[in-house]
């Protein structure tokens, strides 16, 4: 590392310029990682927080609540299977208005009062005490809705009375509102009948929330009962825009890693060409290929680690200033560290082009060219 450190001191301006470019890439990577995490949270945080392990949907509905409908008989059949607890779960997107006429987009979630879904919800014991009582998540409360307020659903005569506030939870970038399953059915299936629930809608739900014993083959049970059973994680794909958003952000971040590798590879290739006489001299004095290569890789590692760490810190500082309420942005230490490590590794991989040139330098030719 003697030669590597000497080069860093002697040509510090070039390495600072190179490190600044890598640091800027690291800043952008951290910000995009935070945006990706925020989009994921905004898309499925409500579903992720639900106390269930699996979900049962109507076949061929791609885990989409708006396309799936299950009847009470199917849900009860699931619940009677050994090792499975099943409850009806409804989810419908609504536009609503508070008493002041303010528009409130919401995802109305119907759960069974007193069931395991309600017990796993903060303040869920309040559900069912009144027929129209609901619990709003903090996203709705942030719009000015308070306990005791009345919210009216558009396209329906159903009125909701707020009896509690739950932690922030969203699905499809819309804040959740938890309601008794009977109220959800009235709001969802009673729209065309003036808010009155038709007999044909009795017992219906969008899906079945399941708590499954570990190692149980619940998929085979679902096939036998004529439903699609997916894990909670697999059901994330049913959130509107989830797959497209995550794929787009992943593609952008992956391109940043490729760009970092190309930048580092190009810089150190030019640097190696400029140092060819020095490398030839080292080899003529007895330095092995391995020693010269290790010295070069150590130089790359110092530049990459220093620049990436600086960029990650700056990106985290900028990200902490972004208001999470207005922009779907969330910083997670694990995601930032992972992105920084991958970025540094990508730079090291890109430098392998230069390392190959170092290993191929002939000391006699290099010294002859220098003279």
* HEC string for 142-206: CCCCCCCCEEEECCCCCEEEEEEEECCCEECCEEEEEEEHHHHHHHHHCHHHCCCCCHHHCCCEC
Does 368 have pLDDT greater than 60?
Answer: no
> What does the alpha-carbon distance between residue 251 and residue 120 come to, in Å, rounded to a whole number?
36
Q: Are 270 and 359 in contact (CB under 8 A)?
A: no
Distance CA 99, CA 115 (A): 31
Distances (CA, A) of 185 to 30, 89, 108, 301: 43, 10, 10, 60
Considering only residues 174 and 363, tell me which one the structure prediction assigns the higher pLDDT. 174
- As a whole number of angstroms, the distance between CA 369 and CA 275 comes to 12
Rounded CA-CA distance 263/103 in Å is: 49
Share of the chain above pLDDT 90, in %: 56
Q: What is the pLDDT of residue 364?
A: 59
Residue 210 predicted with pLDDT over 70: yes
Q: What's this model's pTM, rounded to 2 decimal places?
A: 0.84
Q: Which long-range contacts (CB under 8 A, 24 or more apart) does 221-225 make?
A: 221/78, 221/81, 221/84, 222/56, 222/78, 225/74, 225/77, 225/78
CA distance 102 to 355: 64
Residue 370: its pLDDT value, please?
Answer: 47
Backbone angles phi, psi at 174, to 5 degrees: -125, 140
Q: Give the residue from 15, 35, 37, 12 showing the smallest Cα distance to 305.
A: 15
Residue 52: the pLDDT is 96
CA distance 195 to 247: 40
Task: Out of 64-68, 121-125, 296-300, pick the least confident.
Answer: 296-300
Under the banding of pLDDT at 50, 70 and 90, the label for residue 292 is confident
Answer whether residue 90 shows pLDDT above 80: yes
d(CA 169, CA 179): 14
The Cα 260–Cα 344 span in angstroms is 9
Bridge-partner residues for 207, per DSSP? 89
Cα of 217 vs its chain's centroid, Å: 28
Summarised one tens digit per residue, pLDDT across range 132-158 is 999 999 999 888 899 999 999 987 778
State yes or no: pLDDT of 369 exceeds 60: no
**Tokens describing residue 229:** 């059973």
Rounded to an integer, what distance in angstroms lies between the CA atom of residue 276 and that of residue 129?
81
Structure tokens at 358: 């170092």
Q: Is 165 a residue whose pLDDT tops 80?
A: yes
Give the pLDDT score at 350: 86
CA 246 to chain centre: 7
Q: What is the pLDDT of residue 317?
A: 93
Confidence of residue 248 (pLDDT cuts 50, 70, 90): very high
The whole-number pLDDT of residue 237 equals 93
Q: Which of 4-13, 53-62, 139-148 comes out lowest in average pLDDT? A: 4-13
pLDDT higher for 26 or 13? Answer: 26
pLDDT at 269: 80
């Amino acid at each position: 590392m003697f030669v590597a450190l000497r080069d860093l001191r002697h040509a510090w301006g070039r390495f600072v310029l190179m490190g600044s470019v890598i640091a800027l890439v690291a800043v952008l990577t951290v910000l995009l990682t935070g945006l990706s995490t925020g989009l994921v949270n905004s898309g499925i945080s409500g579903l992720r927080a639900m106390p269930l392990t699996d979900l049962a949907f109507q076949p061929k509905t791609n885990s989409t609540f708006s396309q799936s409908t299950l009847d009470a008989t199917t849900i009860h059949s699931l619940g009677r299977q050994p090792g499975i607890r099943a409850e009806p779960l409804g989810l419908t997107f609504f536009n609503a208005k508070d008493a002041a006429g303010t528009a409130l987009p919401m995802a109305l979630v119907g759960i069974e009062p007193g069931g395991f879904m309600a017990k796993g919800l903060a303040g869920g014991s309040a559900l069912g005490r009144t027929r129209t009582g609901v619990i709003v998540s903090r996203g709705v409360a942030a719009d000015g809705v308070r306990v005791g307020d009345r919210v009216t659903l558009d396209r329906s005569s159903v009125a909701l009375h707020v009896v509690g506030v739950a932690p922030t939870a969203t699905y499809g970038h819309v804040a959740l509102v938890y309601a008794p399953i009977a109220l959800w059915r009235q709001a969802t299936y009673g729209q065309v009948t003036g808010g009155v629930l038709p007999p044909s809608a009795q017992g219906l739900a969008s899906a079945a929330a399941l708590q499954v014993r570990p190692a149980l083959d619940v998929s085979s049970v679902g096939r036998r009962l004529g439903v699609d059973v997916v894990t909670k994680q697999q059901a994330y794909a049913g959130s509107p825009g989830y797959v497209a958003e995550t794929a787009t952000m992943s593609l952008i971040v992956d391109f940043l890693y490729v760009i970092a590798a190309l930048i580092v590879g190009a810089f150190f290739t030019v640097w190696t060409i400029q140092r060819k006489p020095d490398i030839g001299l080292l080899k003529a004095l007895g330095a092995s290929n391995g020693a010269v290569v290790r010295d070069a890789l150590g130089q790359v590692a110092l530049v990459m680690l220093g620049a990436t760490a600086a960029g990650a810190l700056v990106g985290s500082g900028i990200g902490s200033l972004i208001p999470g309420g207005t922009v779907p942005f969330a910083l997670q230490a694990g995601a930032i560290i992972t992105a920084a490590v991958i970025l540094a590794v990508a730079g090291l991989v890109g430098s392998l082009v230069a390392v190959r040139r170092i290993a191929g330098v002939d000391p006699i030719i290099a010294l002859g060219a220098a003279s």
